[in-house]
Amino acid sequence: MPFYRRTHVILLLGISAVPVTFLLWSFATFGSVRVGVACLRGATVAAETPRLFAGRGKPGQQLRVLPSIVNLSNQALRVSGATKSCACLMTDQFPLELPPKQTLQIPIDIQLGDKSGEFSHQIVFYVETETQVPIMFIINGAVEQ
C-alpha cells in the first residue's frame, strides 16, 4: 500500500475515533450525549431529555412524567419555579434543591381533558445560578376515547 493511502487510513481512523470517544465519555460521565455537549459548552445546568412522552390515556385520567434537570456545577443550585403552557400540568414542590453534580427528577402530573387526540405542552423550570436559567421541556401524549 502506498504511503499516502496509509496516511489517509490512519487519519480517517483518528477522525472517527474522536466522536466515538466523545460518545463513550458522555455516556460514562453523564448518561447522555446532550448533557455532555452542554458541559462542553460551559453550561451549569441542562435538561437530560427535553422531549418527554407522557403516554396515552382516557379522558379524565391522570398521567405522570419525570423531567430530569442535571446540575453540572460544583455548587448546589435551586429550582425556584416553573411556567407552563396548560393548567393541566401540575407541580407545586418549589423551591427545590439541586445538589452539585446530581440529577433531579421533578414529577409532573397531567390531567387529561375530555377531547380526544394528541397533545403537546411545554413547561419551563427556572434554575437560580448567577442568573436565572430557563430549562424547557416539551411533553407529548394522547387522549383516547
pLDDT tens readout for residues 65-110: 999 999 988 999 999 999 888 877 787 788 999 999 999 999 999 9
Q: Are residues 73 and 99 in the same domain?
A: yes
Greater confidence (132 vs 56) lies with 56
CA 134 from centre of chain: 12
For the chain, give the percent of residues with pLDDT over 70. 72
Q: Give the tens place of pLDDT for each residue, 44-61.
A: 898 888 999 999 999 999
Whole-model pTM: value is 0.76
Could you tell me the residue range of the domain that residue 15 belongs to? 3-30
**129: CATH:** 2.60.40.10
Same domain as 128, residue 92 = yes
